[in-house]
Structure 1
Amino acid sequence: MAKGRNWLLLRGLARGVGHWGSFAETIQKHFPEDRFEFLDLPGNGSRHLESSPLRISDYVKDLRSRCSYVKNGESFQILSVSLGSMITVEWMREYPHEVKKAFLTCTSSAGFSPFYHRFYLANVPRGLKLIGQQQDAELWEKTILGMIVNNQERREAEMPLMIEYSKKYPMNPANVFRQLLAASQYRFPEQPPGDIKLLGSHGDRLVSAKCTLKIAEQWGLKPQMHPWAGHDVPVDDPQWLLEQLL
């Protein structure tokens, strides 16, 4: 097992650092000799009062200015989910010397997959109903976790702290749309921009598993697919995810 690795962890659409839940502590205990940095995307979590960029490249620019590894001239690995993985791909494309390896979880690309695979249309009514109700943190988290976490026991265990987190850092609906727009327009390069491991789940009810499989086909990679987890694999089955990071 590799030792002394630097990790940067990035969440996705409308999710902040606190939405890693207990996984944030679990991964640090699992790899005690590694270093970890958790950054919020602009508009999410502790940065909820900021405006989210409309271009993926602008997320990269912002996060690089805040990343301690970049400031220290150190290379690092990235574990990212969904929108965070799109940012990771662009980061690797623009600055290939910085990212040693990336673990991309449940992501997708315009050009590789149709929009109805990148966001299941069955979630649109629930999503639209939720917009504007971000001040009701309990409703917000119950709805979102109901869409992205399949394991009811895990969902209920993580929900109380996530509700408190969303009370403290409510999401601006405008930023949800801005992030969706940025994600919808982003296209992955035709070839992988570096050392990448693709992770997906056949149980994802937000983004079709076909998206991960299509990226793998395009890039000539073998993806690791969870059999039943939802879109939020770190919450649904943290142990499986940890096993993929060795």
Structure 2
Amino acid sequence: MHWILLRGLTREQGHWGAFPEQLKSAFPEHDFHTVDLPGTGVHFHDPSPDNIPAIRQAVRRQVDHIPRPFSILALSMGGMVALDWAQNAPEGEIQHLVLINTSSGFSPPWRRMRPGVWPRVVRLIARRELFERERDILRLTSNREPSLELVKQWYRIQRQRPVSPGNAFRQLSAAARYTPGKKRPMPEALLLASQGDRLVHWRCSSVLEQRWQWTLKVHPNAGHDLPLDEPEWILRQMSDWISRW
């Protein structure tokens, strides 16, 4: 089985760190493809659309070579892209859907981004000191104190493939305005959320669970970047869930 991995706001495939290799070790019969959103990663020179459907269309063009059906694992804003994809995909194109700490217009704004976080996010996007910015992003999205080496890695990513402020704000606008369609995109999906997420309230995932009767698993203390904080927990939840289907 082929999997597409999507990250979130201003993040790219390099920010997955060791997680794709951990996935491959846990599921050796599967192939995992990290794909960048427009305006990030290998596409950092490209303008990002300011709406989720257009971002989804740009991502979909990147994976035309991957055999169908495939599965999608997506984090945060990447989860919005994946959700929009599932609602617009030809029947049978997507086999499994795993959404991590995502949100949608089904939840109120103060849960989609917690009160007080908006000004901090805007300041981080506009900040020019890359090392301090990446360290502060890690401290916002992770509940584990980031190592100096990890901060350096993220700093190097931004030095090599910088996300422009314009692209960052267009992505932020796309995420803030996204509301899925009403139809259930798939009979089943796995929702993973962090109760300790200081960016997005975990009940945004609970809303999707209740609306579409999907499976929700909640970690008690990990941060928004769940693959960074608790990758082994994700692998266990995925293994248990996939074995049922």
- TM-score, with structure 2 as normaliser: 0.91
Structure 1 residue 207: Cα displacement: 0.4
The one-letter code matched in structure 2 to 1:175 is N
Does residue 162 (structure 1) correspond to residue 158 (structure 2)? The answer is no
Does residue 132 (structure 1) correspond to residue 126 (structure 2)? The answer is yes
Question: CA–CA distance in 2 between the matches of 1:185 and 1:131?
Answer: 18
| Structure 1 residues 155 and 218: alpha-carbon distance in aligned structure 2, compared to 1, 3 A threshold | farther
Residue 189 of structure 2, aligned match among 173, 188, 196: 196
Q: What is aligned with 1:114?
A: 108
Q: What is aligned with 2:242?
A: none
* Conserved? CA contact 2:189–2:215, under 8 Å: no
Does residue 105 (structure 1) correspond to residue 100 (structure 2)? The answer is yes
Residue 84 of structure 1, aligned match among 78, 102, 110: 78
Q: What is aligned with 1:175?
A: 167
Does residue 56 (structure 1) correspond to residue 52 (structure 2)? The answer is yes
Structure 1 residue 72: Cα displacement: 4.9
Structure 1, unaligned stretches of length 5 or more? none
The one-letter code matched in structure 2 to 1:188 is P
* Conserved? CA contact 2:103–2:112, under 8 Å: yes
Once the two structures are superposed, what CA deviation does each residue of 1:21-75 show, in whole Å capped at 9, x if it has no partner?
12122222222221111110001122112111122111221111110xx335421
* Conserved? CA contact 2:6–2:74, under 8 Å: yes
* Conserved? CA contact 1:190–1:219, under 8 Å: no
* Conserved? CA contact 1:145–1:155, under 8 Å: no
Question: CA–CA distance in 1 between the matches of 2:125 and 2:29?
Answer: 41
Question: CA–CA distance in 2 between the matches of 1:155 and 1:12?
Answer: 21
Kindly tell me the number of residue pairs found equivalent between the two proteins: 237
The one-letter code matched in structure 1 to 2:24 is Q
Question: CA–CA distance in 1 between the matches of 2:118 and 2:138?
Answer: 15
Q: Which moved more, 1:158-167 or 1:6-15?
A: 158-167
Q: What is aligned with 1:15?
A: 11
Question: CA–CA distance in 2 between the matches of 1:103 and 1:109?
Answer: 15
Structure 1 residue 104: Cα displacement: 0.4
* Conserved? CA contact 1:137–1:170, under 8 Å: no
Q: What is aligned with 1:216?
A: 209
Q: What is aligned with 1:242?
A: 235
Structure 2, unaligned stretches of length 5 or more? 240-245
The share of aligned pairs that are identical, in percent, is 35
Q: What is aligned with 1:42?
A: 38
Which stretches of structure 1, 4 residues or longer, exceed 4 Å deviation after superposition? 154-157
- TM-score, with structure 1 as normaliser: 0.90
* Conserved? CA contact 2:72–2:98, under 8 Å: yes
Residue 218 of structure 2, aligned match among 214, 220, 225: 225
